[in-house]
Amino acid sequence: MAHVRSAAKTADLILVMLDSTKSEEQRRLLEIELDTVGIRLNKRKPDVVFKRKTTGGVNSYSLF
């Protein structure tokens, strides 16, 4: 499954096809799996803030 996750992370579109004879549990587990690797389905993008430091570095903050 690792190669599938890495391909999904670089994709512009993820098409999810589920077996209609299975329960809703299959979809929930797939969404959890994708969420753990940073792919958030039907959620807003996280707010990312870059602040320039006076000493010449850059700090980045992810607010989600």
pLDDT at 62: 67
Whole-number Å distance between alpha carbons of 15 and 30: 12
* Letter string b/e over residues 30-45, b meaning 16 or more CB atoms within 10 A of that residue's CB: eeeebeeeeeeeeeee
Tens-place pLDDT, residues 11-58: 788 888 888 888 888 888 888 888 888 888 878 877 777 777 677 666
Enter the pTM of the model.
0.53
Cβ-contact 63, 46 below 8 angstroms: yes
pLDDT at 60: 66
Structure tokens at 52: 């320039």
Tens-place pLDDT, residues 51-61: 776 776 666 66
